[in-house]
Amino acid sequence: MTPAVKPFHPQKRGAVLVLSMIFVVMLSILALGMATMSGMNTQIAENQRRLDGARVCAESGLEITRYWLNKVSIPGTTSPDQRLIKIAFSLQNQLSNMNIGVPSNPSTITIPAVTLNSAQGQSFSVIMKQIGDTLRVDVTGTYGTYGPVTRTIRVNYDFTTIGNTVFDFGVASRGPLSLSGNIDIEGVNTSIESNAYIESLDSLMALSITGNSHIAGNVSIVNSLAYVYLQGGKASIGDETGQAAIDNHVKIGVPLTEFPEPNPSHFEPFVTNVINSSTNTTTNATYENVRILAGTNPSFTGNVTLKGIVFIEAPNVVTFAGSTSITAVIVGDGDWTDNSGTNRISFTGNVSSLPVSSLPDGQQFAQIKNEIGTFVIAPGFQLSFGGNFTTLSGAIAANGISFHGNAGGTIDGSVINYSNGPMTLSGNSDLKFNRSGVVQVPAGFEPTIILEYNHDSYCEVVM
């Protein structure tokens, strides 16, 4: 029997170990690569999170800044090179506890870091620059306490001219309003035309209605502590009496609205004639585009016809005692913060009025015929009416206004009392307000400039 032959295999010691080590090294390198990649992804995600946090801070700052700038209004007389200073002062008033930079050279407004979340280092800052008719606003959001990151959003605001909201009321008074006797304040077309706006910041009694007097529209009062006094069975607001009238037709604590800034000097170029102390004012006479010199204090006792512009310099006390026919704008050149009563304009006789657009053709009236919407603009003058009138053709503005006796009729516009003192109506002074078709700022009143956000200007600034 042949013995079995065993195959011979040469031994290769350590080959498996080598292969194992190769696999271990490869897997280690792969694990290290994956760990490195994971760490990088984590770092990228963290960086993205921090950048998104900075962007969110910038977005929050943008909305807060919009809220601040929505409260900014600039008088229409402000020259372009002074607008930035006006904006800065407005922001200072709103943010009195913050350090807003107002440079002597009005080129930049800087609002320093405003904290949103101190624990996470979230804040924003703002830089504003005026470029022509545009306000450029850069809002930079900051995120992180250590190694903070920032992102900046840029938007533009356009300087936009608007009319003033006080012309949406029949009566707008900084002081209280008092009605006594048989007074009717109504609208010609709708009761809304007779709405009243009253600030009364110096008097708790903002509105007093006694006797048979009433206001057909609604009343808005700024002073949150003010009250309304109604006495008499027919004293009413919105066709309701007693507490129901107050509950349903009076709003107390409404926001302030800006009063329009009067600009009497706008009318000076139209004035060509003069009334002084030597002028005879006792005869029937017609005056065209006339200036009443300061200190003249004339009393017109005869029948008077006024055409074009009547420009009254301060100080003056002017009385129209006879019948007065007016196709003109009456202008008082006073200070709209002067409530002293030193300057006065009184109409004690009957008044008839036509708009200046009806002036006859002629070179002296060619431009004036476009100065529509205003009957009296007399800042710093007390103004009183004591005689009848059918229609007063435009807005009326003065510092202290009264209608008494049988003064009454239709007013094609609003009555604006700049004085903190009361505006009074007594006797049988029925006023009917016709504000239908009033679509522009009345002549001589400066419109308001506001900042209008330009949505299309939104962009992120790469720093």
Give CA–CA dist 74/448, Å, rounded: 6
Cβ-proximal residues to 114 (8 Å cutoff; 6+ apart), any chain: 61, 64, 98, 123, 124, 125, 126
DSSP string, 406-420: T--EEESS-EEE-SS
**Nearest Cα to Cα of residue 295 among 330, 348, 343:** 343
Spell 166-176 as b/e; 16+ CB within 10 A means b: bbbbbbbbbbb
- Looking at the DSSP bridge assignments, the partners of residue 211 are none
**Nearest Cα to Cα of residue 139 among 118, 106, 102, 113:** 113
Residue 164: predicted pLDDT: 77
CB-based contact 123:142 (threshold 8 Å): yes
Residues of the chain falling short of pLDDT 70: 1-14, 35-48, 98-106, 437-439, 463
pTM of the full structure: 0.74
- What HEC string does 274-307 produce? EECCCCCCCCCEEEEEEEECCCCCCEECCCEEEE
Give CA–CA dist 9/74, Å, rounded: 103
Q: Which two tokens stand for residue 71?
A: 């409260």
3-state helix, strand, coil in the chain (%, to 5): 20, 40, 40
Give CA–CA dist 210/179, Å, rounded: 6
Residue 43: predicted pLDDT: 59
Cβ-proximal residues to 261 (8 Å cutoff; 6+ apart), any chain: 75, 76, 77, 336, 445, 446
CB-based contact 328:443 (threshold 8 Å): no
Give CA–CA dist 220/226, Å, rounded: 11
φ, ψ of residue 427 in degrees (nearest 5): 80, -125
CB-based contact 281:274 (threshold 8 Å): no
